[in-house]
Amino acid sequence: MSFSALDSQITGPLFRTERMAGVFSDHARIKAMLRCEEALARAQAMAGLVPVTLATAIASITPDDFNLSELGQATALSGVPTIPFVKAVQANLPRDLEPFFHFGATTQDIADTALALQMREGFTLIARDLATIISELVSLAERHKSTPCIGRTYMQHAAPITFGFKISTRIANILAFAQRLKPLCDQSLLASLGGPVGTLTTMGTHGPVILKAYADALKLGCPPIAMHAQRGPMAGIAAWLAGLCEALGAWGSDIVHLSSTEVAEVSEPYVAGRGGSSAMPHKRNPVSATVLLAAATAAPGLASTMFTAMIAPHERPAGAWHAEWHALPQLFGLTSGALQEAHHLAKGLNVDVARMRANIDHTHGLFFADAASAALAPTRGRADAYAIVEAAANHARSQGGELETILLASNLTPSERNAVEQAFRLEPAIAAAAQWVDPVCEKARAVHAALLNFVEEA
């Protein structure tokens, strides 16, 4: 039985990657919890609180030594997975070491820190995918730097731009999140160790030193005080993941519209059997863009769960912390699926340059109305120039004809005619749009390099 589309064997492959599913699997959770306990034992051994052999004994235990079904049943009884986990590990330790295992720690310490380790691995996968997508989008933008297409506002024709400019705006949107990935990890992936109420009383004056050694061993950040009720870092991670899904979704919304029958300026790369309809054999639906939009639609609700969970009474909340277990893995899963489909789009998007040009001509030059009005303003004044062009535009809409032809046939002076003719040239608009592509691509390359460096250091 599957209660989530991400966990389903049927729908899961559509919405998340197998690699990310592996990061948040039960096997990975147990592995991360064992790493936490080993690091804790080493830190405590340095302070003389536990035998030095304890860490080595913990390291010899693997996730395969656990019966996950029994752990699940015991978790349903205890309310948290750490309690049966601790008992299972103790059963595998030599009798003389068993009393020292998990010394001074509490359930949330291990659960939170293990999740931080899993999220760090998840972020590494995201960084790698982001770097690939950014590189592919840069190539797409540069390839179409000067490809004319119509700019749209309120879903209507506005003024000419280039397809490279349109792609560059989406690159910039993605970069806004990509460049914050490393700072986010540095500030939000933290080691949790506070004991029952956050004071590490049983560790005495060694508490702060052990926390620092514990965090360093796991290569996680060290919070200044117990993070049991400090859920801002977790909420920040959720906000970043949801924001990235929204940035990808914005691009997906462009693709859906541009690939519609009436527009037909782009299409997703063809894959046999992909995007079909159970009723209409001719259909080629935009599957990748659909997945981007699905993730963008679902992610904000999951992020809101994390913000609600920030209301954590006293030293540890009831329920709010548990709700995070639902939201964070799903956010990572949705993000991985969105990135997978974004890669598919960026790498193989089909661009119909001829159709873009045809769509520019569709409104018979109406989008040049602003430029024409500006051309007449020096001699006619702004208000009169606007009225002249507006009347010509209304004539073009109601009776047909090119706006430029209608204007030139009106009562204009030779100099005004020349100004109007210049206003209807496409080249200035193309040059204006194209000039923004290179700066975005240059920044993208820098972010791409930073992401690759992040992956290497992880």
Residues 314, 408 within the same domain: no
Q: What is the CATH number of the domain that holds 65?
A: 1.20.200.10
Domains in the chain: how many in total?
A: 2
pLDDT in tens, the chain (458 residues): 567 888 888 888 888 899 999 999 999 999 999 999 999 999 999 999 999 999 999 999 999 999 999 999 999 999 999 999 999 999 999 999 999 999 999 999 999 999 999 999 999 999 999 999 999 999 999 999 999 999 999 999 988 999 999 999 999 999 999 999 999 999 999 999 999 999 999 999 999 999 999 999 999 999 999 999 999 999 999 999 999 999 999 999 999 999 999 999 999 987 765 544 444 444 468 899 999 999 999 999 999 999 999 999 999 988 889 999 999 999 999 999 999 999 999 999 999 999 999 999 888 888 888 899 999 999 999 999 999 999 999 998 888 889 989 999 888 898 989 999 999 999 999 999 999 999 999 999 999 999 999 999 98
The answer to whether residue 297 sits within a structural domain is yes
The answer to whether residue 444 sits within a structural domain is no
Residues 349, 371 within the same domain: no
The answer to whether residue 143 sits within a structural domain is yes
Residues 148, 30 within the same domain: yes
CA distance 424 to 37: 71
The answer to whether residue 441 sits within a structural domain is no
Residues 45, 102 within the same domain: yes
pLDDT score recorded for residue 430: 96
Residues 338, 407 within the same domain: no
The answer to whether residue 86 sits within a structural domain is yes
- Domain housing 371: 366-423
Residues 60, 125 within the same domain: yes
Residues 337, 376 within the same domain: no
The answer to whether residue 130 sits within a structural domain is yes
**Could you give the residue numbers annotated as active site?**
277, 316
Residues 276, 333 within the same domain: yes
Residues 303, 419 within the same domain: no
Residues 106, 253 within the same domain: yes
The answer to whether residue 289 sits within a structural domain is yes
The answer to whether residue 412 sits within a structural domain is yes
pTM for the whole thing? 0.93
Residues 219, 317 within the same domain: yes
CA distance 172 to 97: 55
Residues 134, 277 within the same domain: yes
